[in-house]
Amino acid sequence: MNHQITNKRDIGINFHPDINPTAKVWAPHAKKMQLEIHNKKPVCLKRENFGFWHASCPDLVPGDKYKIRINGKDCYPDPASLSQPTGVHDYSEALDLNQISTIKDKNWKGIPQEKLIIYELHTGTFTPEGTLEALSKKLQHLKTLGVNAIKIMPVATFPGNRNWGYDGVYPFAVHHAYGGAKKLAELVKTCHQKGFAVILDVVYNHLGPEGNYLNAFGPYFTKKYKTPWGDAVNFDDAWCDGVRDYFLENAMMWLRDFHIDGLRLDAVHAIKDFGPKHFLKELSDNVEKLNRQTGFDHFLIAECDLNDTRYIKPPEECGYGLHAQWCDEWHHALHALITGEKRGYYSDFGEIRHLAKSFRHAYVYDGIFSQNRKKIFGTSTAEIPGSKFVIFSQNHDQVGNRMKGERLTQLTDFETLKLTAAATLFSPFIPMLFMGEEFAEDNPFLYFISHTDENLVEKVRKGRKKEFRAFIEDAQPPDPFDRETFLKSKLKWNFTEDSKKQNMFEYYQKCIEIRKENPLINSCNRNNLLVRESESGNIIILLYNAGKESLSVILNFSENPVSDNIEEAANFKTETLLYSAHKKWGGEINNNGKPLITSKNMTQINMAPRSAALTSNTLI
């Protein structure tokens, strides 16, 4: 069976310019299949090879509601449904994907991977309205901020109206409460017109429990492997070909038909596949084929906690060919250093050397012993460019999986927030911000659901309590089903009324502006970077070198002011490009105060507590 995906969607309901609409369903064990169209005559499907069923549907029109009847008995929504307007248990709605694919900016050329500055957001809480249309109206804010890519948490249909999106059960259907398929396509077009790339979060390692009828159609899951969500998705067991096609078709649809620039692949370490060609390699091959056909560079970014470069190495080096991955260890090293937290995976971090190593190598554990894991862990990142790693000081997981959903705004102070921004935006990696951090949002980002199954809701409540009581006695996490939990997680857009928050926004603007203007940083070239820890042990210095010109990023993680000599001689002149402790950024140092002082025989740094500075250096 050939898993090369064609230039048009091949499963579910599809409309064609020259032939009747078609229905195609994968159900290898079924004996009989019917398309039950609301208020119209049922259509019988015919069995084809490899477990597929197919039918021509001359009476079907866009907007028709339908279900699929299996073996003359129960009816279910279409696994490849493009729309579930009345929920996960009800009728699917036929949509013409050809109409969606025409909504695009033909002049969009994309953004080079190393130039990406990503902004992660959740559609439901980013705006008061919680829709894709409302999101579109906030793009000017992001344009003013300076980011050039938005990463949208999953939009696949889930039960109810409130969810992070990782409980989706219809991977092809844009959630109706967000606005549906057309609104997503319109948002992508508007983003491209305004200069933003769009990255969509997709989940191929599991599906949610409520409304998940896939097992009624075939062996979408296997008992060979267990995951945190139960039986693994069937990528290598009997009848896995139809499952692989299902998810490959989904990825190609977002890129080809919705014109999404890239996909963020959730927890790829939970994709269990020991077949001769890993699903991720097959996905990468299909994306490369699409790129050759379109002349456009779509990309794949993986979330993976294995510190295994096989995922991001090219096929010629026996890799899967994914274009980048989230680097959680950079976050852990930074977070543990500034907060002092040592529970769980943070126990492997917390010293200045950990963050310094992550600046050098991305992975901290790159083949060394991890006390938390009780084993040697990770692989070397030698020769892998910085553009292969996405780093962040906050994201939906690291904030939302805390019991109270605290952002760094609640965990540290104003000066440290500026320090973390500089560390992120002046790194040799692709930076990502989490919605609201640019104006020090103080609302939490909590875990919330709106399942309609009361038993399932209670299981989630109990599960959250059990999770946190393992290390917090009598823990009482917010009720994830309570609508107030969701509402408390929405961004407040009144930050311009608060001088400190407005100041933070302007500081982020400046950091992003500097990154964009300096190819020494935005090239993500780790080969021109020297990382030093000062003798005091409280400072990290990043030196981006290009012959006569260099940039120094000085990061003081001490709670005290620090003075230190960093060179024997200083035959260069320096210009301060940014100093977070200056009064114009809400600090206490006069705006002409210099963090780096050079003389004939010495270079001295003078850094305020928890501060960051960037200087331009020219040899004389």
Residue positions annotated with a catalytic role: 266, 303
Buried b (16+ CB within 10 A) or exposed e, 19-54: eebbbbbbbbebeebbbbbeeeeebebeeeeebbbe
User: What's the one-letter identity of residue 168?
Assistant: G
Q: Which residues pair with 37 in a beta bridge?
A: 66
Q: Are 172 and 12 in contact (CB under 8 A)?
A: yes
Residue 600 token pair: 């004939």
Q: What is the C-alpha to C-alpha distance for residues 26 and 48, in angstroms, rounded to an integer?
A: 9
Q: Which residues pair with 550 in a beta bridge?
A: 545, 617
Residue 196 token pair: 């933003």
Residue 448 token pair: 């919330």
Helices (H) and strands (E) in the chain, counts: 17, 31
Handedness of CA 339, 341, 347, 351 (dihedral sign): positive
In sequence order, which residues have a C-beta less than 8 Å from that of residue 236 and are 6 or more positions away? 222, 224, 272, 273, 274, 275
Q: What is the C-alpha to C-alpha distance for residues 497 and 282, in angstroms, rounded to an integer?
A: 50
Q: What is the C-alpha to C-alpha distance for residues 510 and 528, in angstroms, rounded to an integer?
A: 23
CA 173 to chain centre: 19
Q: Number of C-alpha atoms within 13 angstroms, CB side, residue 215?
A: 13
Spatial CA neighbour of 79 closest among 185, 192, 221:
221
User: Is 374 exposed, middle or buried (CB count within 10 Å of its CB: 0-12, 13-18, 19+)?
Assistant: exposed
Helix (H) or strand (E) holding 607: strand 603-607
Residue 563 token pair: 């003075």
Instruction: Give, as one character, the DSSP assignment of residue 534.
Output: -
In sequence order, which residues have a C-beta less than 8 Å from that of residue 504 and are 6 or more positions away? 414, 417, 418, 438, 439, 440, 586
Sheet containing 562-567: which strands, arranged edge to edge?
562-567, 603-607, 596-598
In sequence order, which residues have a C-beta less than 8 Å from that of residue 556 and are 6 or more positions away? 419, 538, 539, 562, 607, 608, 609, 610, 611, 612
Q: What is the C-alpha to C-alpha distance for residues 284 and 30, in angstroms, rounded to an integer?
A: 31
In sequence order, which residues have a C-beta less than 8 Å from that of residue 295 and are 6 or more positions away? none
Spatial CA neighbour of 260 closest among 299, 318, 222:
299
User: Is 529 exposed, middle or buried (CB count within 10 Å of its CB: 0-12, 13-18, 19+)?
Assistant: buried
User: What's the one-letter identity of residue 153?
Assistant: M
User: What's the one-letter identity of residue 275?
Assistant: G
Spatial CA neighbour of 158 closest among 486, 398, 477:
486
